[in-house]
Amino acid sequence: MSVEQDGQSIRLVLVGASGRMGGQILRLLHEMPRYRLVGAVASAHNAALGQDAARHAGAAQCGVSLSSALAPLLGEADLVIDFSSGTAVGAHLAACVAARVPLLIGTTGLPQELQAPLAAAAARIALLVAANTSLGVCVLEELVRRAAAALPAQFEVEILDVHHRHKVDAPSGTALALGEAVAAARGQRLAEHARSGRHGAAGPRSPGEIGFAALRGGDAVGEHEVRFLGPGEALSLTHRATDRAIFARGALQAGSWLVSQPPGRYSMRDVLSI
């Protein structure tokens, strides 16, 4: 299915529409008039099924009800954006491939077994998978990659993430992705060089170590800093999120890019041409 003939409208089916990210997207859709919501999917167990999706998200009524079946909505769709649950994505992927509808997956925690179906799907539809859809974080990753490649190994890398008190995992997924960017640029394997949470008699730093530290508290949306600590100088690269809407806005911007792409596997870097 291709974008409507006028080349403007994008008929969107949003999966995970009753959730936190789905709600952010529904509240932001008015910023991007190119989008027209044609379907809103939530879990079959969701108490809000049947309700107006936008009204449920706290926005003005849109006339699209929350439903639990994706496939019947795809005949009218130009794009699916998925912010649901890692275990649910496989079924959504299969439905999009069968209907030939481009798919943007913002959902995290995808099972390892999904890697082969994702690769196969990319031969048939435009597919973008992004665990972080912030445009700023995407640029930060690229800057970190370049700095890690350009600076000699004497510049030791420490990565700091700051999040609100409710966050349960540390380091954050984004901090780990930044660590992966450093490791890849330096020809290392992150698993062999990551060092988290020094405490007590931690001993001296080993060569090539990539250090992680996590601060938790308050309502911090998310801050990531990568420090390159060298002899006589230090370089810091920082991204600070002040509003969760950045992930929704980035996903919508990426989606409007994705609908014009041929089948293939894409990332946020492709969206920004970096």
Catalytic positions, written as ranges: 163, 167
Nearer to ligand NAD by Cβ, of 235 and 245: the residue is 245
Q: Is there a contact between 39 and 14 (Cβ–Cβ < 8 Å)?
A: yes
In single-letter form, the type of residue at position 221 comes to V
Peptide bond into 171 cis (omega under 30): yes
Nearer to ligand NAD by Cβ, of 168 and 202: the residue is 168
- Residues 109, 113, 114, 119: is their CA dihedral positive or negative? positive
- Residues 77, 81, 87, 90: is their CA dihedral positive or negative? positive
Q: How near is the Cβ of 223 to ligand NAD at its closest, in Å?
A: 15
In single-letter form, the type of residue at position 124 comes to R
Q: Does residue 131 belong to the site contacting ligand NAD (CB under 6 A)? A: yes
Rg of the chain, C-alpha, whole Å: 20
In single-letter form, the type of residue at position 7 comes to G
Stretch of 17-25, 147-155, 163-171, 233-241 contacting ligand NAD, by CB under 6 A: 17-25
Nearer to ligand NAD by Cβ, of 12 and 41: the residue is 41
| Interface with ligand NAD in residues 42-81 (CB under 6 A) | 42-43, 46
Distance CA 247, CA 25 (A): 9
Q: How near is the Cβ of 17 to ligand NAD at its closest, in Å?
A: 6
Length of the chain: 274
Distance CA 229, CA 235 (A): 7
Q: Does residue 35 belong to the site contacting ligand NAD (CB under 6 A)? A: no
Q: Does residue 175 belong to the site contacting ligand NAD (CB under 6 A)? A: no
Q: How near is the Cβ of 203 to ligand NAD at its closest, in Å?
A: 35
Q: With CB under 6 A as the rule, give the number of residues binding ligand NAD.
A: 26
Distance CA 254, CA 274 (A): 14
Binds ligand NAD (CB under 6 A): choice among 35, 62, 79, 106: 106
Residues that bind ligand NAD in the complex, under the rule CB under 6 A: 15-22, 41-43, 46, 83-86, 88, 106-109, 130-133, 247
